[in-house]
Amino acid sequence: MAEYKGIKGFKVQTVSTDPAASVIATGTWASGGDLNTAVNASGASNAGTQTASINFAGNAAPYPTVTNAAESYNGTSWSPISSMGTSRWILSSFGTQTAALGVSGVTDVNAVLPTTVVEQWNGTSWTEVAELTTNRHASGGFGVSTAGLIVGGQSRPGAPPGVPVIYRANVESWNGTAWTETTDINTARDTMFSFGINTSGLIANGANPTAPAVSNTESWNGTSWTEVAESNTTRYSGGAAGSSNTLGLIFGGATPTFTAATEYWDGTSWTELNNLANARVYVRGSGSVPSALAYAGASSPSVASAATEEWTITATPTTFQQENLGQVFYNSTSDAFKVTKQSVPAGTWASGASMNTARRQITNFGESNSAAIAVAGTIPPTLQALNESYNGSTWTELNDVNTAREGASSSGTQTAGLLFSGGNPSPTTFTESWDGTNWTEVNDLNTSRQFGAGFGTQTASILAGGYTTTQVANTETWNGTSWTEVNDLNNARNNNNGAGTTTSGLVFGGNTPPGGAVGYTESWDGTSWTEVSDLNTARIYIGGSGASNTSALAFGGQTTTPPATVANTESWNGSSWSEINDLSSVRSQTTGTGTSTDSLIAGGWTGTAVAAATEEWNVPTTNNTLTAS
């Protein structure tokens, strides 16, 4: 009898667990024993282990009740232990199950009475020790009971409500007897994630008045703080577990929406892993990357949590199966055929490195979120010729374009691109070609304009719509040498965007005469434009990316009724638009680049300021069950 391999040409691999992107990606959260008392913003033995940790103080159920109660975990269940001397919440802490410190915090439910009181746990009882130099709460903390750090936080110069808060950059070091001021962090903040030891630690994210969710990550080497790569999800008030500045997890928190997101730090970059089962803020953590513990917190603004979750990595280097896009396999444990694929709606935006120069009405082009160009634009009222290149980690200034302009369009890759149209300050026909090093002026467009939709390659591009003295429908194609007028759009418009190629493209959004944002979408087949389904949210100055008229993203922009800069992201599947995960921050007046699975947006306008920020769109690889239809 013929085998399946002989008929189809290959065997379907049988595995007992789904392949994964890495060993760490096989980690999952599972339920542990609940705390006896649900509690929020408590202290924790963050140097403890998954089977030996303590939780103490916090805002407890019945909520709100500031408590001094403490509990110990043995890997299965929590048991009450001796209470602290001072009830408090939003405190800082570090140490193990048998030797920990509870530091500062606030003693009232309204969080207006910070304390400097420090208590030390010896495995049996709590004892007051030397007070912290600066009253504060919501600080970061890591280390052991004889050598630890308290980092940042929030304090008040006085106790009464209404007294302005101060966000701290101060760091204090504990030697087992006394506190000493040491090197400040670079960005003052509170409610940060923190893990490590007193000579090798990390803080990530947090909050302060200038950035409700701080994206910065800083690494501590025992002497100084260094800015390192930002996490994928900017957030505050979550939990962490880790042993040094090269190995740790962060989980939970708020964006400000409560999140269950979990990320792994390998000393260089952050990787998204499997989420907590319960999204919550002020969740506490202890343990290490192979086996961490998450407990307590709040599952909603007024509901404290008793939930405990245990993180375990299921694969070892010898049993690990590498995940490969497009593979088909049979999982014998779940008795199912599966395929490894990317689902665009599951993608998320993550912060990248900021450009060197903030500007708006800028254009981006390139092949991915790690190979992109940001060129031209304006820093009102001055037009810009600036050109920066992105490698996924940093922006580098390169040779400027020959003609400064705003509202230009572009196409191509990081090393072979085209810049065309734009305002200087009136609409232009100028076209310039980029070879990765220099810009060269080439043949002009037939119709001068700015704020049109451009896409394609350096040798095969398209420009549709734009503004001359009014919105136009003109479409032109570029063959590597010259521009040719082709069939017009059905709807004249400007401040629109597009995606695809000269034979399979899409144009969406913009505003039409006499004005006002539209959601109109038109599909290009290489010859003519066809009206298809509208965007869900009509907008102008919209960003976009995509490889064809069947796969594209539209993101950011400005609505006109009511006027607002937005973060909305929508995915196009060839027939309709679907709302998916928003940008981390509102953004308009920048174009975006890449594909629907690998995009980038840089610079632009936040609604109040010119931006330098970069966001990267990533779509995770997942294993999906195949079903008969």
Domain at 291, CATH number: 2.120.10.80
Find the angle CA(221)-CA(226)-CA(228) to the nearest 5 degrees. Answer: 115
Tokens of 595: 């594909």
Within-domain flag for 474: yes
Tokens of 423: 């305002």
Q: pLDDT averaged over the chain?
A: 93
User: What strands lie across the sheet with 409-412, from one edge to the other?
Assistant: 409-412, 417-420, 431-434, 439-442
Quickly state the pLDDT bin for 158 (edges 50, 70, 90): low
Q: Is the pLDDT of residue 163 over 90?
A: no
State whether 415 and 455 are in the same domain.
Answer: yes
State whether 202 and 332 are in the same domain.
Answer: no
What pLDDT is recorded for position 211? 65
What pLDDT is recorded for position 629? 58
Q: What is the dihedral of CA 488, 489, 492, 496, to 10 degrees?
A: -130
What pLDDT is recorded for position 627? 84
Q: Are 119 and 84 in contact (CB under 8 A)?
A: yes
Burial 377-388 (b: 16+ CB within 10 A, else e): bbeeeebbbbbb
- Cα separation, 211 vs 415, in Å, equals 35
What pLDDT is recorded for position 3? 53
Mean pLDDT over 402-423 rounds to 97
The string of pLDDT tens digits covering residues 277-314 is 999 999 999 999 999 999 999 998 889 999 999 999 98
Q: Is the pLDDT of residue 7 over 60?
A: no
For the chain, give the percent of residues with pLDDT over 70.
Answer: 97
State whether 59 and 180 are in the same domain.
Answer: yes
State whether 360 and 507 are in the same domain.
Answer: yes
Q: Residue 113: beta bridge partners?
A: none
State whether 84 and 214 are in the same domain.
Answer: yes
Within-domain flag for 52: yes
Within-domain flag for 581: yes
Sorted by sequence, the CB contacts under 8 Å of residue 290 that are 6+ apart come out as: 312, 313
Mean pLDDT over 100-115 rounds to 89
Q: Are 121 and 101 in contact (CB under 8 A)?
A: yes
341 CB neighbour count, 10 Å cutoff: 13
List, in sequence order, every beta strand (DSSP E) within 283-416. Answer: 284-287, 291-295, 298-300, 303-304, 308-313, 328-331, 336-342, 348-352, 363-368, 371-375, 378-379, 382-383, 387-390, 395-397, 409-412
Q: Is the pLDDT of residue 550 over 80?
A: yes
Structural domain boundaries enclosing 125: 36-313
Within-domain flag for 29: no
Q: Are 485 and 462 in contact (CB under 8 A)?
A: no
Quickly state the pLDDT bin for 109 (edges 50, 70, 90): confident
State whether 100 and 114 are in the same domain.
Answer: yes
In the chain, the number of structural domains is 3
State whether 329 and 385 are in the same domain.
Answer: no
State whether 307 and 380 are in the same domain.
Answer: no
DSSP string, 49-85: BTTBEEEEEEEETTTTEEEEEEEEE-SS-EEEEPPPS
- Cα separation, 355 vs 391, in Å, equals 12
Helix (H) or strand (E) holding 8: helix 4-8
182 CB neighbour count, 10 Å cutoff: 17
- Cα separation, 586 vs 608, in Å, equals 10
State whether 81 and 113 are in the same domain.
Answer: yes
Mean pLDDT over 77-100 rounds to 97
Within-domain flag for 297: yes
Sorted by sequence, the CB contacts under 8 Å of residue 272 that are 6+ apart come out as: 232, 233, 261, 262, 263, 348, 618, 620
What pLDDT is recorded for position 604? 97
Within-domain flag for 30: no
What DSSP designation does 137 have? B
What pLDDT is recorded for position 483? 98
Range name among 5-19, 57-71, 311-325 with the lowest pLDDT average: 5-19
Within-domain flag for 25: no
**CA nearest to 71, candidates 92, 93, 56, 52:** 56
Sorted by sequence, the CB contacts under 8 Å of residue 177 that are 6+ apart come out as: 129, 130
Sorted by sequence, the CB contacts under 8 Å of residue 184 that are 6+ apart come out as: 169, 170, 171, 225
State whether 10 and 62 are in the same domain.
Answer: no
Mean pLDDT over 553-575 rounds to 96
**CA nearest to 235, candidates 319, 133, 395, 350:** 350
What pLDDT is recorded for position 9? 53
What pLDDT is recorded for position 96? 97
State whether 472 and 587 are in the same domain.
Answer: yes
Type of residue at 99: A
Q: How far is CA 328 from CA 15, 177, 213, 483, 622, in A?
A: 11, 60, 40, 45, 12
Helix (H) or strand (E) holding 243: strand 239-244
Mean pLDDT over 178-184 rounds to 97
Range name among 82-86, 333-337, 532-536 with the lowest pLDDT average: 333-337
- Cα separation, 572 vs 595, in Å, equals 12
Mean pLDDT over 568-592 rounds to 95
- Cα separation, 47 vs 94, in Å, equals 6
- Cα separation, 262 vs 275, in Å, equals 5
Q: Is the pLDDT of residue 138 over 90?
A: yes
The string of pLDDT tens digits covering residues 358-402 is 999 999 999 999 999 999 999 999 999 999 999 998 999 999 999
HSE, CB side, 13 Å, CA atoms: give it for residue 194: 32
What DSSP designation does 345 have? G
Q: Are 69 and 36 in contact (CB under 8 A)?
A: no
What pLDDT is recorded for position 234? 87
Q: Is the pLDDT of residue 1 over 50?
A: no
The string of pLDDT tens digits covering residues 228-283 is 988 988 899 999 999 999 999 999 999 888 999 999 999 998 988 999 999 999 99
Quickly state the pLDDT bin for 4 (edges 50, 70, 90): very low
Q: Are strands 13-15 and 328-331 parallel, antiparallel or unpaired?
A: parallel
**CA nearest to 541, candidates 378, 417, 362, 359:** 362
Range name among 5-19, 216-230, 250-264, 519-533 with the lowest pLDDT average: 5-19
Q: Are 364 and 613 in contact (CB under 8 A)?
A: no
Find the angle CA(135)-CA(140)-CA(144) to the nearest 5 degrees. Answer: 100
Quickly state the pLDDT bin for 162 (edges 50, 70, 90): low
Q: Is the pLDDT of residue 538 over 90?
A: yes
What pLDDT is recorded for position 256? 86
Q: What is the dihedral of CA 541, 545, 548, 553, to 10 degrees?
A: -80
Type of residue at 5: K
Q: Is the pLDDT of residue 474 over 50?
A: yes
State whether 411 and 396 are in the same domain.
Answer: yes
**CA nearest to 94, candidates 272, 333, 277, 285:** 285
* Higher per-residue pLDDT: 159 or 217: 217
| Three-state secondary structure readout of 522-549 | EEECCCCEEEECCCCCCCECCEEEEEEC
Within-domain flag for 625: no
**CA nearest to 47, candidates 139, 141, 127, 123:** 141
Q: Say how many residues make up the chain.
A: 629
